[in-house]
């Protein structure tokens, strides 16, 4: 399982998204991977997973299939960990 955040840099939500990532890691122990849709890799990830709103948080399985996605908002930590526990 992976937790991935797709987020543009230098936007009005960037600071909140980075704070969420830091706090999520501190509280749960799970790393959050960051994808910037302004980079080639980030654009491919966003396009492949139909992500058009930012920030978006995804939980993916080992084959990069999206199990859950929160687009345009940051989810509660419990929502993410619940999905990771059950998947």
Matching residue, tokens 């059950």: 86
Total number of residues shown for the chain: 87
Reported as type and span, the H/E element at residue 19 is helix 14-28
User: CATH top-level class for 2-86?
Assistant: alpha beta
Mean pLDDT of 6-22: 94
The domains of the chain are located at 2-86
Looking at every residue in the chain, the average pLDDT score rounds to 94
**Considering the entire predicted model, what is its pTM?**
0.89
- The residues, ordered by sequence, that sit 6+ positions from 9 with a Cβ below 8 Å of its Cβ are 36, 38
Query: In this predicted model, what pLDDT tens digit does every residue of 31-56 receive, in sequence order?
Result: 999 999 999 999 999 999 999 999 99
């Amino acid at each position: 399982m992976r937790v991935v955040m797709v987020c543009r840099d230098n936007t009005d939500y960037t600071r909140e998204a980075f704070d969420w990532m830091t706090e999520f890691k501190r509280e749960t122990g799970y790393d959050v991977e960051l994808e910037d849709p302004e980079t080639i890799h980030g654009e491919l990830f966003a396009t492949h997973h139909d992500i058009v709103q930012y920030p978006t948080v995804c939980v993916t399985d080992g084959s990069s299939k999206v199990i859950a996605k929160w687009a345009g908002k940051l989810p509660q930590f419990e929502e993410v960990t619940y999905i990771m526990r059950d998947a």
